[in-house]
Amino acid sequence: MRTEILMARLQPGAPLRVDLLSKTYDVGRTPLREALSRLEAERLVVAISNRGFTVAPVSRTGLEDLTKARAVVEIPLLLEAMERGGAEWESAIVTAHYRLSRCKTIVEDSSDLAVDAWMERHEAFHAALLSAAQSSWLMHFRSTISDQLQRHYRFLAFAPALRAAAGETAGYEEAMAALHKAQSIGPHTELMEAVLDRNAERARLLMDEHFGYPLEVYAVEEGEAPASRKPSARGRTHKKSA
């Protein structure tokens, strides 16, 4: 199991006890401590003096910061991919989109297995969109940002159910509706079509809109109305870029 996946499965702020992890995953204590130290450098783990390690926290502020960083990195990668991509790149996008379309949203299936499948295929779809780009440093930054975002996305996926189980049922339906909107295939289809049409302006607008969906989920989860967004890219002219 990849360490990033392990971090995503553990609750933010959860203690990481070396003895327990060693027994659970049949890994020696020394390599475990080395791995945790590396994860601390990647800000996936927090080291607390004389108390060991904990899973890094998640927050709306942190997600907002990561979303800004994602836009700075992924938009240029997307535009480069659209310029350079050929038939093989297009086929990879269509295949990844089809696989994502076969996943159920959390409203339809909230099991760990279903959420894992959706997150894996969602990441694969976005990776396919960018796969024709050749900027290795931007790809490196994108991978780091993605690892952090996966923790936030998984937290948001289960937050409404966890709150409801604790008796905090206010806003549950609204939060689940926001999650369903974020995970539904429609916006991903629109984004794919704009990219394959090489419509740079529309693809940029749709990608920017796409980045905001998790923040809308956070706003609803915290009992706020989502902040007003820029006019939607939907319904705009589908003219290809020159």
Tokens 């450098």 identify what position? 41
Reply yes or no on whether the pLDDT at 23 is more than 90: no
Which two structure tokens, joined as six digits, stand for 224? 């706020």
- Residue 10 is predicted with a pLDDT of 66
Give every CB contact of residue 16 below 8 A, 6+ residues apart in sequence.
10, 36, 45, 52, 53, 54, 55
Span 44-95, pLDDT tens digits: 788 887 677 888 788 889 999 999 999 999 999 999 999 999 999 999 999 9
Kindly state the average pLDDT of the residues 106-119.
Answer: 90
* Tally of CB atoms within 10 A around 177: 14
What predicted TM-score, i.e. pTM, was given to this entire model? 0.78
CA atoms within 13 Å, Cβ hemisphere of 8: 21
Reply yes or no on whether the pLDDT at 122 is more than 80: yes
Q: DSSP assignment of 129-143, as one string?
A: HHTT---HHHHHHHH
Reply yes or no on whether the pLDDT at 7 is more than 50: no
- Residue 185 is predicted with a pLDDT of 96
- Mean pLDDT lowest among 29-38, 62-71, 147-156, 173-182: 29-38
Reply yes or no on whether the pLDDT at 163 is more than 60: yes
Kindly state the average pLDDT of the residues 217-231.
Answer: 65
Kindly state the average pLDDT of the residues 179-202.
Answer: 96
Q: Which phi and psi (to 5°) does residue 204 adopt?
A: -65, -45
- Residue 99 is predicted with a pLDDT of 98
The residue that leads in pLDDT, 57 or 121, is 121
Kindly state the average pLDDT of the residues 122-148.
Answer: 96
